[in-house]
Structure 1
Amino acid sequence: MSETNGAIETIDFVTVVYEHDIFSMKLQARSVARNFRGDDIGRIFIIVNELAPEYCYSLLQRHVLPEYGRLISKVEIIPMTRMMRPHVRISGLKSQQALKLLASRLVGSRFYTALDAKNHLIQPSALESVVDLKSKKARTHKNRRNRAPDKTLMEALEYFQATPTDFELPSTAPFTFHAASVRQMIDEIETREGAHFDDFMLDRGWGFTEYSLYFAYLLTKETGPAELYRFASRNAALIARRAPAEGDAFNEFIEGLEANPVMTFGIHRSRVATLSEAEWDKIIPVWLKAELFDDAGAAKQFLSELTQEARSKVS
Structure 2
Amino acid sequence: MSTGDVLGAGTVVTVVFELEVPLLLLQARSFARHVPVGAVAEVLVIDDTARGLPARGAAELLAAYGPHADRVTLLRPDDLGGVPAAPGWQRQQALKLLVAPRVTTGRYLALDAKNHLVRAPDPAWFGVPDGRARLGVHGYAGHPLRPALERTVRYLGLDPGAVLDRFPATVTPFVLVTSLVRAMVEDVGDRAGRPFAQEFVDHRLTEFFLYAAWLEARAGGRDRWYADGQPGCPVVWPGDPSLRAVRAAGEELDGTGAPVLSVHRTALVRMPADATDALTDLWVAHGLFAARGDAARFVAGFRRTYRRRVWVRRCREAPQRVRARLADRATAAGAVPA
**TM-score, normalization by structure 2:** 0.82
1:126 deviation in Å?
5.8
1:35 deviation in Å?
0.8
Q: Distance in 2 between matches of 1:59 and 1:43?
A: 22
> Which segment is superposed worse, 30-39 or 298-307?
298-307
User: Does the CA-based 8 Å contact 2:80-2:98 persist in structure 1?
Assistant: yes
> Which segment is superposed worse, 143-152 or 167-176?
143-152
Q: Distance in 2 between matches of 1:258 and 1:242?
A: 23
**Counterpart check, 1:80 vs 2:77:** yes
1:146 deviation in Å?
4.4
Q: For residues 71 and 176 of structure 1, do their structure 2 counterparts lie closer, same or farther at Cα, with a shift above 3 Å needed?
A: same
> Which segment is superposed worse, 103-112 or 120-129?
120-129
User: 137, 152, 172: which is aligned to 2:132?
Assistant: 137
- Alignment match, 1:36: 35
**Counterpart check, 1:124 vs 2:123:** no
- Alignment match, 2:209: 212
Amino acid corresponding to residue 240 of structure 1 in structure 2: W
Map of 1:43-82 to 2, 5 A cutoff?
A: 43-53=42-52, 56-58=53-55, 60-82=57-79
1:147 deviation in Å?
5.3
Map of 1:200-279 to 2, 5 A cutoff?
A: 200-202=199-201, 204=202, 206-221=203-218, 223-243=220-240, 246=242, 248-279=244-275
User: Does the CA-based 8 Å contact 2:14-2:111 persist in structure 1?
Assistant: yes
Q: Distance in 2 between matches of 1:222 and 1:123?
A: 34
1:250 deviation in Å?
4.9
- Alignment match, 2:24: 25
- Alignment match, 1:186: 185
1:246 deviation in Å?
3.2
- Alignment match, 2:297: 301
**Tell me, what secondary structure is at the counterpart of 2:234?**
strand
Flag the structure with higher strand content.
Answer: 1
User: Does the CA-based 8 Å contact 1:37-1:125 persist in structure 2?
Assistant: no
Give the structure, 1 or 2, with the largest relative contact order (CA under 8 Å, sep 6 or more): 1
Q: Distance in 2 between matches of 1:295 and 1:136?
A: 40
**Tell me, what secondary structure is at the counterpart of 1:171?**
coil
Q: Distance in 2 between matches of 1:250 and 1:73?
A: 34
**Tell me, what secondary structure is at the counterpart of 1:220?**
helix
- Alignment match, 2:197: 198
User: Does the CA-based 8 Å contact 1:116-1:174 persist in structure 2?
Assistant: yes
Q: For residues 220 and 271 of structure 1, do their structure 2 counterparts lie closer, same or farther at Cα, with a shift above 3 Å needed?
A: same
Amino acid corresponding to residue 38 of structure 1 in structure 2: V
> Which segment is superposed worse, 29-38 or 123-132?
123-132
Q: Distance in 2 between matches of 1:258 and 1:126?
A: 13
Q: How many residues align?
A: 302
Q: For residues 10 and 238 of structure 1, do their structure 2 counterparts lie closer, same or farther at Cα, with a shift above 3 Å needed?
A: closer
> Which segment is superposed worse, 289-298 or 38-47?
289-298
Q: For residues 10 and 171 of structure 1, do their structure 2 counterparts lie closer, same or farther at Cα, with a shift above 3 Å needed?
A: closer
The alignment's C-alpha RMSD in Å is: 2.5
Q: For residues 9 and 232 of structure 1, do their structure 2 counterparts lie closer, same or farther at Cα, with a shift above 3 Å needed?
A: closer
User: Does the CA-based 8 Å contact 2:243-2:274 persist in structure 1?
Assistant: no
Q: Which runs of 5+ in 1 are unaligned?
A: none
Q: For residues 38 and 313 of structure 1, do their structure 2 counterparts lie closer, same or farther at Cα, with a shift above 3 Å needed?
A: farther
**Counterpart check, 1:158 vs 2:154:** yes
Q: Distance in 1 between matches of 2:273 and 2:121?
A: 30
Q: For residues 182 and 272 of structure 1, do their structure 2 counterparts lie closer, same or farther at Cα, with a shift above 3 Å needed?
A: same
Amino acid corresponding to residue 30 of structure 2 in structure 1: S
1:127 deviation in Å?
4.9
1:83 deviation in Å?
0.9
Q: Distance in 2 between matches of 1:27 and 1:278?
A: 21
Q: For residues 110 and 222 of structure 1, do their structure 2 counterparts lie closer, same or farther at Cα, with a shift above 3 Å needed?
A: closer
- Alignment match, 2:167: 168
User: Does the CA-based 8 Å contact 1:105-1:183 persist in structure 2?
Assistant: yes
User: Does the CA-based 8 Å contact 1:287-1:293 persist in structure 2?
Assistant: yes
Q: For residues 271 and 293 of structure 1, do their structure 2 counterparts lie closer, same or farther at Cα, with a shift above 3 Å needed?
A: same
**Tell me, what secondary structure is at the counterpart of 2:69?**
helix
User: Does the CA-based 8 Å contact 1:21-1:309 persist in structure 2?
Assistant: no
Q: Distance in 2 between matches of 1:310 and 1:117?
A: 14
1:248 deviation in Å?
4.3
- List, as ranges, runs of 4+ consecutive aligned residues in structure 1 with deviation greater than 6 Å: none
1:114 deviation in Å?
0.8
